[in-house]
Structure 1
Amino acid sequence: MKKLFLTLCLGIIAGSSFGQNFMHALYEYTPNRVNPAFASSDNFQKGMFIFRNQYASEDIKFMTSYAEGNHPIFNEERRWSGVSVSLMNDRNYGAEIYSLNQISASYAINVPLQKYTEFSIGLNSSFQSKSLNTQQLTTGSQYVEYFGFDPNLPSGEGQCTINKNYFSFAFGLSWQKVDRYGKKLFSAGYALHNLNRPEDSFYENNVNKLPFLSILTASATLMENYQWHIKQDVFLRHAGSVTELVSGPSFRYAVGNMRTESIKTMLRYSTANNIMLGAVYESENFALGGSFDFNILKNNISNSGTFEIMLSIKRLKRPKRKSNWRFNAENTEESDQLEEEKEDHSVNTAEENSNFQDEEKDPQDEITVKTEAGVITYLPHELEDLTYNFQFDFDDYNLNHEDEQYIKEMTEIIRQNKKVKVRLTGHTDNIGTDEYNMELAFERAKKIGIILLKNGVPKRKIKLVTKGESEPISTNDTSEGRAKNRRVQMQLVYD
């Protein structure tokens, strides 16, 4: 058994060294191990932890602990770069025979190509320290004729701890296209690891250089609406003479009234004859999930079964835009700087109109309708059903500063009146497809709901409804009428 353990241990070390065959099934949550360009793939500041338990045989298993932190870097307009740092410990369970420690850092720069499309370039440097303790790996006896192996006799085998340290470098490229709500539609990435071909051998007279490790990733959205997101994932890895392909679909379903939470399930097949099953629950600020691998068709001596658990904590970051607003509680009239901001916003809106090139529309659909809701008064016992309309620019779901301030003031009434609930109903004009307008209407309502949540209104008191273009309050034949239809109706209900 000890010889088998030694052979297996050395085999896994060689596999990890030369091909880095060990891969997390939840590789989306270990971007630093996959492609350094992923260090700046989204607008979230994240911390991730994964624990992996891999069984090699009935009584042999390996445990891996992995932690990673990602931080996007913004200028005044966009996310232009990002950094990522990770730590990993991989060792056998029980006697300390084999262990690997790694620290890795990546930096990536984004290059905007077109609207909602970006290209990233990343570099990575990692330091690995490996050790093999042979004190537990001797036969422990000498053969005595007519008696057998006597464990009390010295074996004559050397016992020591062998160490190996080295640096390695990687280079990566990434391309992705997202929709206007930030959901990833298509992506592709390529990374080349071990650029410096580091030497890796526990024996001085047997110097081995690590081969280049190539990793190709790709995903494509198969179906998407405001509740479902189904995509196909591909992961291809090649090192030396070993090539492995991992592919399969993932299904994401948005749950809850606000649809800020989702459940993601994954089914993947590996050409190493493994099936990977996984599920992840994800909200705006954290994710929790797990996966399980099992063999099919033939036995895999190095991986007879693996499970992983994952925890991720994240926070959305935004560009460092300089505000053009000077809000004065005693004077709510718009300043000259506000007018300049609206002019700039009209230019951005005109660009967004290109999403509907096949639709006929009035060029003045970019006009902004000011919200008129009056003065808020706190009436704790006599509050009646009140309705407010918040208007939106064409093909837009962002609020202006004045509307956001008004909503924040309304939260005081909602929080202090225990029986007051909020109903947010999103509407659009009739330009665009029904499905697109349903999602746009929901995002408009969700925008106000998020402001209420962040200002202390409980989620149970908020209800979101999407109507799309089905309930106009004015004609859609004129730009003025369409502007009135682009709205979210906020209804305060005294229940």
Structure 2
Amino acid sequence: MAKTLGLLYSFDRRTVVHLLLIIVLEVTSTQARAQYFQFSQFNFTPQRINPALVATSNYAQVAFVYRNQGTDGGFRLASNSLNAMYPIQSRTGNRWSGVGVSFLDDRSGQAGIFSTQEAGLSYAINIAVASRQSLSLGAKVLYQGRRINLDGLYTGSQYIPDRGFDESVSPGENFGELKSDYVTFSMGLHWQIEDKDETVAGYWDISFFDLNRPEEAFITAWPLNPTMVAGGGLRVYQRRQLSIFPQVLYTRCASNNVVNAGAVFRYDLIKSNKGSPYLDLRSGFVFGRSAVLGLQYQNDRIALGVSYDFPFFYNNVANTGAIEVGIVLKKEIARKKKQKANSKQASVAQKPKKLSAPVGVKKPPVVVRDSSAVRKDSLHTATMSERLRLKQDSLAAMGMAGQLKHEPLILEKATLRFGFEFNSAEPSAEAREYLDQLATALKDNHDLHLQLVGHTDNIGSDKFNIRLSLARAQAFRDYLVNAGVESARIVVDGKGMSEPLNDNATPDKQALNRRVEMTIVYNK
């Protein structure tokens, strides 16, 4: 009895509250592992979501996230996460697997009384299921150590009635440190689809953690319940520099369910190509707990993020407000394969066209040569304006010689195949590069006019495809107008699926039919 009184008297009221809360949290986690902890910026901690995510990007990256969370008990929870991922490519440059490591340090209570340390290793392989679609299967082994250290919370002395604490007499109790160490195994499956810019347009995944159910308790052995994490997201809107990507993350352990639903609002600061900087406004609502707002800046080298959790519609004693800050350093692993096949499908296929002479006028012997393809390297040089200028000068010379009348003539004709996504009119990064060069050429040569005709594959109704083909041509026109070309110089039309280049028998052939026909007209 004296030992018990001594222990009770050695604690002040605030310390007792802290200790009781920690014990409650420990008992809760021992019984059901009710809360598998997730960071609010979970895109910075992918290995806590699914080990398969280490093989879903061409970027090697190192990420650090710090979270500080307040509670009604007056103490704070501090969590630090460090993880790294590296994609593994084949000799042909295809990403076929990935490896990752992760570390976590989580401390709570006064002077970090309760602490958790984790170290994990993840590995995943990729399976190509369709064009720009991949399925990843991952596994993870994790070591976790948990500690409750009560040093400093009690006097370590015996309490003697009517005398107080006698430092020369031991209380006979040793609360020093309680430990729990175990190893767990996890597996996950992830599917995603990317657009031409290699930006994720949709995904779903599911993972199972702690499959081996290790014994984890400080006093008595208790099997750890497996945790299931599932999620998905889909880009539902994209126009110009704004896109909206709703997503949901669901966590279940025993009979406990946690749902985090929200959306990412992305704004491209420079709408050009892959790797351009953008801002993400991240929002979420954890049902029964809190709301989350965050802002992230990303480019092809670095990502910076900050978020804040706050009670919303609910009083959450375990979270009265939490702030997170994160940083990601990343670098794209250079592709080894040649871009010949990609550039052939995604660039411009053209056929030489002879100039049409007016009726009654002998055809000129000069044939204006069109380039056979707009290659990737030519997109970075301002040669189109010069080429069209030479053609103009040639026509002007023939007009002065009386060989041609001053009537509109076709100067160049091309089929633009920049890999339109199914049911999409959004220009790809390569298309925007080409349109930038075309806009420069049109602004340099004011006698040139443009005709744009959109086309589709054979999927969908005639009415739907007419609208889609017109939207594709209109998207190119809008881009050129925004770049400074007069709208009166551009005419658009849509043919739907009425003029296919092939029989649409395969997905690759259908992709070739999703195109815009461009005709440059000289009209002096």
Instruction: Please give the TM-score of this superposition, normalised by the length of structure 1.
Output: 0.68
Higher Cα radius of gyration: 2
Structure 1 distance, partners of 2:486, 2:29, is 53
Q: Is the Cα–Cα contact under 8 Å of residues 69 and 77 in structure 2 kept in the other structure?
A: yes
Q: Is the Cα–Cα contact under 8 Å of residues 286 and 311 in structure 1 kept in the other structure?
A: yes
Structure 2 distance, partners of 1:468, 1:186, is 36
Deviation at residue 140 of structure 1 after TM alignment = 6.8
Which deviates the most, 79-88 or 129-138?
129-138
Percent identical residues: 22
Structure 2 residue aligned with 1:11, among 1, 24, 34? 24
Name the structure 1 match of 2:176: 160
Structure 1 distance, partners of 2:57, 2:99, is 12
Alignment of 1:232-247 (within 5 A): 232-247=246-261
Structure 1 residue aligned with 2:417, among 386, 391, 394? 394
1:345 aligns with 2:344: yes
Structure 2 distance, partners of 1:214, 1:10, is 25
Structure 2 distance, partners of 1:346, 1:270, is 44
Alignment of 1:382-421 (within 5 A): 387=386, 394-396=417-419
Q: Is the Cα–Cα contact under 8 Å of residues 438 and 468 in structure 1 kept in the other structure?
A: no
Structure 2 distance, partners of 1:256, 1:51, is 29
Q: Name the CA shift for 1:255/1:207 in 2 (closer, same or farther; >3 Å).
A: same
1:37 aligns with 2:52: yes
- 1:291-320 deviations in Å (ceiling 9; x for gaps): 111123443222221110011122223432
Q: What is the identity, as a one-letter code, of the residue corresponding to 1:394?
A: R
Alignment of 1:240-319 (within 5 A): 240-256=254-270, 258=272, 260-319=276-335
- Structure 2 gap segments, 5+ residues each: 1-13, 350-369, 379-383, 389-411, 420-427, 438-449, 457-467, 502-514
Q: Name the CA shift for 1:323/1:346 in 2 (closer, same or farther; >3 Å).
A: closer
Structure 1 distance, partners of 2:47, 2:19, is 30
Q: SS at the partner of 1:280?
A: strand
Name the structure 2 match of 1:220: 234
Deviation at residue 96 of structure 1 after TM alignment = 3.8
Name the structure 2 match of 1:185: 201
Structure 1 residue aligned with 2:225, among 193, 206, 211? 211
Structure 2 distance, partners of 1:468, 1:182, is 32
Structure 1 distance, partners of 2:451, 2:172, is 83
Q: Name the CA shift for 1:435/1:7 in 2 (closer, same or farther; >3 Å).
A: farther
Q: Is the Cα–Cα contact under 8 Å of residues 127 and 135 in structure 2 kept in the other structure?
A: yes
Q: SS at the partner of 1:430?
A: strand
Deviation at residue 169 of structure 1 after TM alignment = 0.6
Structure 1 residue aligned with 2:483, among 465, 470, 485? 465
Q: What is the identity, as a one-letter code, of the residue corresponding to 2:294?
A: G
Q: SS at the partner of 2:71?
A: strand
Q: SS at the partner of 1:95?
A: coil
Which deviates the most, 212-221 or 296-305?
296-305
Structure 2 distance, partners of 1:138, 1:165, is 25
Q: Name the CA shift for 1:309/1:398 in 2 (closer, same or farther; >3 Å).
A: closer
Which deviates the most, 313-322 or 288-297?
313-322
1:23 aligns with 2:38: yes
Q: Name the CA shift for 1:267/1:111 in 2 (closer, same or farther; >3 Å).
A: same
Structure 1 distance, partners of 2:332, 2:43, is 18
1:134 aligns with 2:150: yes
Q: Is the Cα–Cα contact under 8 Å of residues 452 and 492 in structure 2 kept in the other structure?
A: no
Structure 2 distance, partners of 1:474, 1:440, is 9
1:369 aligns with 2:387: no
Structure 2 residue aligned with 1:431, among 447, 455, 463? 455
Structure 2 distance, partners of 1:239, 1:271, is 16
Q: Is the Cα–Cα contact under 8 Å of residues 228 and 252 in structure 1 kept in the other structure?
A: yes
Deviation at residue 387 of structure 1 after TM alignment = 4.8
Deviation at residue 44 of structure 1 after TM alignment = 1.6
Aligned residue pair count = 399
1:485 aligns with 2:500: no
Structure 2 distance, partners of 1:119, 1:193, is 19
1:229 aligns with 2:243: yes
Name the structure 2 match of 1:460: none
Q: Name the CA shift for 1:473/1:266 in 2 (closer, same or farther; >3 Å).
A: closer
Which deviates the most, 231-240 or 312-321?
312-321
Structure 1 distance, partners of 2:179, 2:489, is 71
- Structure 1 gap segments, 5+ residues each: 325-340, 351-366, 376-384, 408-425, 446-463, 488-495
Q: Name the CA shift for 1:9/1:468 in 2 (closer, same or farther; >3 Å).
A: farther
Deviation at residue 180 of structure 1 after TM alignment = 2.1
Q: SS at the partner of 2:111?
A: coil
- 1:57-114 deviations in Å (ceiling 9; x for gaps): 3630121111111111222152211111111111136524222111111111111111
Q: Name the CA shift for 1:31/1:110 in 2 (closer, same or farther; >3 Å).
A: same
Instruction: Please give the TM-score of this superposition, normalised by the length of structure 2.
Output: 0.65
Structure 1 distance, partners of 2:23, 2:492, is 74
Q: What is the identity, as a one-letter code, of the residue corresponding to 1:8?
A: L
Q: What is the identity, as a one-letter code, of the residue corresponding to 2:114?
A: Y
Q: Is the Cα–Cα contact under 8 Å of residues 472 and 485 in structure 1 kept in the other structure?
A: no
Structure 2 distance, partners of 1:266, 1:100, is 28
Q: What is the identity, as a one-letter code, of the residue corresponding to 2:85?
A: N
Q: Name the CA shift for 1:210/1:246 in 2 (closer, same or farther; >3 Å).
A: same
Structure 2 distance, partners of 1:11, 1:474, is 68
Deviation at residue 115 of structure 1 after TM alignment = 1.2
Q: What is the identity, as a one-letter code, of the residue corresponding to 2:19?
A: L
Q: SS at the partner of 1:57?
A: coil
Deviation at residue 176 of structure 1 after TM alignment = 1.3
Q: Is the Cα–Cα contact under 8 Å of residues 61 and 330 in structure 2 kept in the other structure?
A: yes
- 1:436-464 deviations in Å (ceiling 9; x for gaps): 45767999x9xxxxxxxxxxxxxxxxxx9
